[in-house]
Structure 1
Amino acid sequence: MDEYGWLAERFEEHRPHLRGVAFRMLGSIHEADDAVQQAWLRLSGSDTSGVENLRGWLTTVTGRICLDILRYRASRREEPLDWHLPDPIVSQVGGADPEQEALLVESVGIALYVVLETLAPAERLAFVLHDVFAVPYEEIGTMLARSSNAAKQLASRARRRVQGVGVPDADLGRQHAVVDAFFAAARGGDFDALIALLDSKVTLRTDAGPLRQASSAVIRGAAEVAGRALMFARPDARVHQALVNGAAGVVITVDHRPVSVMGFTVTGGRIVAIDGLSDPERLSALDLSAFVAG
């Protein structure tokens, strides 16, 4: 095997890890894949004879590429909303694809990714690389042209923002049971049952896409979210259990057509966050075929 082939083989070994880094940084599957491809181009054009830790080298390179993408994205941000729902990673219960699992790193639900989207690029880089992928502050500081102490402060600031996000209960079966009860109560018009399932400070975020902004909203509070659930319960909709970013979620279909993906954060047996994507264009980019057959 020639040197190029050897290098390509080593890169493929690290690709799942790099996609996980890029997705956690960018919240976009397409952009994550682009970032990983750029990392390969940089590797194939570099002299790596002196690199002892190729995984670490590639992690740093991918982080820098993602930082540039985040800065460019921030400079051109034209989002009419003050928040953005990142791409959900959707799979069947018990049937997660190994590549999807690598993207998630751990089952944290989708709410964390929404908070990550609100961080400044440097904060997101420092937090993700240090707290998730154990990159030393010294290396992060070099990437940001700042001191290691400054990198540590950026990560700390991001960590305070992230700490407000509920951590999903470890028992996935219990998560699904709560979500199933939520839909049963909504269909039955049982307001009190919905209130019992919702945390008092629950947040509902719905992203219907740029062409249907009137349907996008952020709603807070158990009574408000319960009222919304009762208002939009559809008797013709089928609710399919799913994993959304590794936590309990659903894919909702009407006439075998996906109309929404919803991720739930269930903490302490109660729903603390619901994040729903109903943007037709973004839904069409997801592989939801397993939920629409039959």
Structure 2
Amino acid sequence: MGTHATSDPATDAFVAHRNLLFTVAYEMLGSAADAEDVLQETWLRWVKVDLAQVREHRAYLVRITTRQSLNRLRTMTRRKEAYVGPWLPEPMLTAPDVAEDVELAESMSMALMLVLETLSPTERAVFVLREVFDVGYDEIAAAVDKSPAAVRQIAHRARRHVDARRPRETVSASRTKAALESFQHALATGDLQGFLDVLAPEVVMMSDGGGIKQAVPRPITGADKVARLIIGGTAKSHATLTTSLTMVNGSPALALHLDGELDGVMAVRLDGDRISGLYYVRNPEKLTRVGTETALSLR
């Protein structure tokens, strides 16, 4: 790119809305790599559009992105069926200001992203556009090729489904950080009681190694089981474990290093002040976004 300003309206519009489009695609897919591919496909379609016929650039771009995301979501469903072990969303390093935008931080938390995984592709698209990005029913209808009346029904059904499964309350970043610090301390000391104090009795732990790194093949439930698994795992490893707080998907999380090398990222779900969900992503292909911040936007 030269230093002179570009005056191409198609490029200008795409660049102006790029962060929003990426956020829409990521919320629908749970994968930053796939969201980037969707943006590429959106751009290739956008440059062929006659802009004189487009009333609102932002709405039209969101529509293209939604359609491409839906296509991608259907192929990803097949990929996930062949995936080794639990599939967790791809964690992304986010700027501290994302945590201050409560709506954005909640919408992309690991806990909510996992709930969205239980929706059908169309339900997920409708829920994300309506609940997260506040898109009107007519616009959503055009994006998902359904009538506005059908979209209202889908939105209602998806919201009911998500509300029954999402965390009951919005947890502040400071509370999450406090729980993670207690967890860090228990991890450093190997103290079973320390773990039992911070883990909810019915805590669920999931780990995603993607068949590349060793991971627990299915979710583990119960504070005692989870604590003993972690203590046993760290005792068996001959590497030096270090942990540091980071910001992932708009919430505090832990980065775990073995002998100085990044081993994985752990995100949590809180109920009250205790950890009720532990999500450990070890698959190296999903850790490419935790070194540099990703710019996101709801607007």
- Decide: shared fold, TM above 0.5: yes
In the alignment, does 2:267 pair up with 1:266?
no
Q: Does structure 1 retain, via aligned residues, the 8 Å contact 2:167–2:271?
A: yes
In the alignment, does 2:23 pair up with 1:20?
yes
- Spell out the pairing of 1:6-155 with structure 2 (5 A cutoff): 6-75=9-78, 77-80=80-83, 83-91=86-94, 96=95, 106-108=104-106, 109-155=109-155
Distance in 2 separating the partners of 1:209 and 1:76: 11
Return 136-145 or 241-250, whichever deviates more: 136-145
With over 3 angstroms needed to count, the CA separation of the structure-2 counterparts of 1:168 and 1:206, relative to structure 1, is farther
Q: How many residues align?
A: 283
In the alignment, does 2:258 pair up with 1:257?
no
With over 3 angstroms needed to count, the CA separation of the structure-2 counterparts of 1:152 and 1:84, relative to structure 1, is farther
- Give the aligned partner of residue 244 of structure 2: 240
Q: Does structure 2 retain, via aligned residues, the 8 Å contact 1:198–1:222?
A: yes
- Give the aligned partner of residue 209 of structure 1: 210
**Structure 1 gap ranges (5+):** none
Distance in 2 separating the partners of 1:129 and 1:289: 26
C-alpha distance after superposition, 1:126-152 (max 9, x if no partner): 101111111222332333333323222
Give the CA RMSD over aligned residues: 2.9
Q: Does structure 2 retain, via aligned residues, the 8 Å contact 1:26–1:70?
A: yes
With over 3 angstroms needed to count, the CA separation of the structure-2 counterparts of 1:42 and 1:271, relative to structure 1, is same
SS of corresponding position for 1:84: coil
SS of corresponding position for 1:233: helix
Distance in 1 separating the partners of 2:139 and 2:9: 27
Distance in 1 separating the partners of 2:214 and 2:123: 29
TM value normalised by structure 2: 0.83
- Give the aligned partner of residue 171 of structure 1: 172
SS of corresponding position for 1:216: coil
4+ residue segments displaced more than 6 Å: 1-4
Distance in 2 separating the partners of 1:83 and 1:190: 27
With over 3 angstroms needed to count, the CA separation of the structure-2 counterparts of 1:67 and 1:207, relative to structure 1, is same
Distance in 1 separating the partners of 2:200 and 2:152: 33
SS of corresponding position for 2:203: strand
Distance in 1 separating the partners of 2:22 and 2:92: 13
SS of corresponding position for 1:273: strand
**Aligned partner of 1:112: which letter?**
L
SS of corresponding position for 1:152: helix
C-alpha distance after superposition, 1:17-48 (max 9, x if no partner): 11111111111112111211222222211112
Return 17-26 or 117-126, whichever deviates more: 117-126
Distance in 1 separating the partners of 2:286 and 2:119: 23
In the alignment, does 2:280 pair up with 1:276?
yes
Q: Does structure 1 retain, via aligned residues, the 8 Å contact 2:264–2:282?
A: yes
Which of 1 and 2 has higher RCO (CA within 8 Å, sep 6+)?
Answer: 2
Distance in 2 separating the partners of 1:68 and 1:183: 40
Distance in 1 separating the partners of 2:226 and 2:5: 60
Distance in 2 separating the partners of 1:204 and 1:40: 39
With over 3 angstroms needed to count, the CA separation of the structure-2 counterparts of 1:160 and 1:224, relative to structure 1, is farther
- Give the aligned partner of residue 187 of structure 1: 188
Distance in 2 separating the partners of 1:80 and 1:19: 24
Q: Does structure 2 retain, via aligned residues, the 8 Å contact 1:250–1:261?
A: yes
With over 3 angstroms needed to count, the CA separation of the structure-2 counterparts of 1:17 and 1:144, relative to structure 1, is closer
Return 33-42 or 251-260, whichever deviates more: 33-42
- Spell out the pairing of 1:224-239 with structure 2 (5 A cutoff): 224-233=225-234, 236-239=240-243
Distance in 1 separating the partners of 2:13 and 2:285: 36
Q: Does structure 2 retain, via aligned residues, the 8 Å contact 1:258–1:288?
A: no
